[in-house]
Structure 1
Amino acid sequence: MTAFHDDFSRALAGDPTGMTARLGHDPHALTALRVYRNASLKGRVDALAANYPTVVQLVGDDWFHAAALAFLEDQPGDDPVLAAFGAGFPAWLAAFPPALELPYLAPLARLDRAWTEAHLAADSRPMTEADARAAGPALGGQVLALRPDVRVFQFDWSVPSLWLAHRQPDRGPLVWEARPEALLIHRPDAEVVWRRLDPAEVVFLRAGAAGRPAAAAALQAGLDPADPDGPIPRLLAERVFLHPHAEP
């Protein structure tokens, strides 16, 4: 990147010093720069709102717009793909003073971000139920790694209930209480889907993600791998695991 591009990027982020020196006092050029910066800023604010729709629904457009401007001042971002923009927003929101009285905002933003990441994740070959049957007893010694689109969450509060109430068409009850809940977000096909997880499923999935073989992960989670109606066959049917011969 040239020095000009550096100055131009800083101008778009709010520091026009370098570009002002290059443009001199040409009012037309300076006005054009401000117009371009405002258009660029609006595009990033709109992208952030599109990537965090649950947060927008809860706080309203005006509050979110002000928060987005503050976030962009701290983290202008350089990702040219606006669909992926704002990865740091959940962590930033957790420390944003006006949001401290709204403790559900940051974890809800994490779930919104997980939806975006699942949507944009690279395609991958899943392990199927047929693959598991073909592996036989050897499956217990295999590590059931998660596909790139899979996100697993566990909260001490009812974050999933609150998030699902805004994501599901029937809009269930808006519940915010101290109740452990877990959620799976992934993209088995073209669409991102989600469902609640029980604690044993969370332990099993996280053990596999940490590199533990399936048998050890099942033992840790208290699951019976041979149960045809148990969580493991269900997770296989949902295609959350990466095929052992697929690129991770």
Structure 2
Amino acid sequence: MMALRTLQKRFSMALLDRTREVPSGIRTAGLDRIDRRFDVYRNNVFVGLTEALVTRFPVCHALVGDEFFRAMARVFIELSPPRSPVLMTYGDDFANFVDTFPPAHPVPYLGDVARLESALTRAYHAADATPLTVDELASLAPCRWEQIHVELHPSVQVATSVYPIVSIWEAHVRTDDHPVIDSSIAEDALVVRPDLEVKVHRLPPGAATFLTALLKGASLRTAADVAMTDPRFDLITTLSGVLAVRIIVGIRSSRE
């Protein structure tokens, strides 16, 4: 008799690979052919996973249309099946797949929009934390610039692109406004949930690099030095924006 673990592995592999036959050891009651019943079950799995992707990537779905998106999702599901029973996390690698999916190349910003939508989900399900108050932030003043480290809210996500992904996303979620989008303008996004609602903020030049460095543990001075490789980076504008969106939840000072 086949071991249960082996049967389960073959069963899951056959579910997402239409070229595989029904694993031996599978039985069915009644007179229905096992392959027909297995095909029904396999189709239901694909439908469920596709709906999970449609739900997580609504703007991508709108950009390419339902038929194209579902066909693309089916290929993705075959290549990248779920690794967790928690479907809200399914599709974290969808953007990378979109970048390499030749039929999607006529929509070159599609992968970056998918990254933005992935960030929205991660921000929504991130841990809660209380942003520092203005008085607490004032404690930064006596510290030496190169020794200040800030802890950002767990929901902070940064999405970068050479395309106007924030404008594209806004155009689909804010149906009352139909702006003309200049596709030549690059936009980076900050996605955060300081309270109950996930918010998307358009970042000024260099700010994405600055925030990414902070997320990796760099001091304010080091993060600013890295961001200044972009000549358009303005530290005062960036810091003002960071304070305004309330993403700092901790401060520490240490010798480097």
TM-score range, shorter chain: 0.7 to 0.9
Deviations 1:24-68 (A, max 9, x none): 797444333222222111100000111110111111111111111
1:239 aligns with 2:242: no
Q: Distance in 2 between matches of 1:16 and 1:161?
A: 42
Contact 1:128 1:237 survives alignment (8 Å): no
Specify the alignment match of 1:227 in structure 2.
none
Aligned residue for 2:215? 209
Which residue of structure 2 lines up, in the alignment, with residue 36 of structure 1? 41
Change in Cα spacing, 1:75 to 1:217, as seen in structure 2 (3 Å) is closer
SS at structure 2 position matched to 1:144? strand
**Aligned match of 2:235:** 223
Query: One-letter code of the match for 1:55?
Result: C
Aligned-pair identity in percent equals 32
1:6 to 5, 9, 28: 9
Which of 17, 21, 25 matches 1:22? 25
User: Any gaps of 5 or more consecutive residues in structure 1?
Assistant: 225-229
Letter in 2 for 1:44: L
Q: Distance in 2 between matches of 1:154 and 1:131?
A: 30
Q: TM-score, normalised by structure 1?
A: 0.84
1:101 corresponds in structure 2 to 106
Aligned length: 240
- Provide the C-alpha distance between the structure 2 equivalents of 1:70 and 1:216, rounded to a whole number of angstroms: 43
Is structure 2 residue 135 aligned with structure 1 residue 116?
no
Query: Post-superposition shift, 1:85?
Result: 1.0
- Mapped to 2, the partners of 1:77 and 1:114 lie a distance apart of 18
| Unaligned runs of at least 5 residues, structure 2 | none
User: Alignment RMSD, CA only?
Assistant: 2.6
What is the deviation of 1:16?
A: 7.8
C-alpha separation between the residues in 2 aligned to 1:82 and 1:37? 17
Of residues 77, 80, 100, the one that matches 2:82 is: 77
- What is the CA deviation profile of residues 171-192 of structure 1, one whole-angstrom value per residue up to 9, with x for unaligned ones? 4325252112222111111111
What is the CA distance between 1:144 and its match in structure 2? 1.8
Letter in 2 for 1:197: L
Compared with structure 1, are the counterparts of its residues 94 and 235 closer, same or farther at alpha carbon in structure 2 (3 Å cutoff)?
Answer: same
* 1:184–1:195 Cα contact (<8 Å) kept: yes
Are residue 56 (structure 1) and residue 68 (structure 2) matched? no
In the aligned structure 1, how far is the partner of 2:222 from the partner of 2:22? 60
Runs of 4 or more, structure 1, over 6 Å off, are: none
Q: What is the distance in 1 between the residues matched to 2:25 and 2:177?
A: 54
C-alpha distance in 2 between matches for 1:139 and 1:233: 19
CA distance in 2, matches of 1:16, 1:216: 53
Question: Higher mean Cα deviation, 132-141 or 20-29?
Answer: 20-29
Partner Cα distance (2:127, 2:109) in 1? 29
- Greater helix proportion: 1
> Match of 1:20, SS?
coil
Cα 1:139–1:133, aligned 2, differ >3 Å: closer, same or farther?
A: farther
The residue type paired with residue 115 of structure 2 is R
Deviation at 1:135, TM superposition (A): 4.3
Shift of 1:18: 7.2
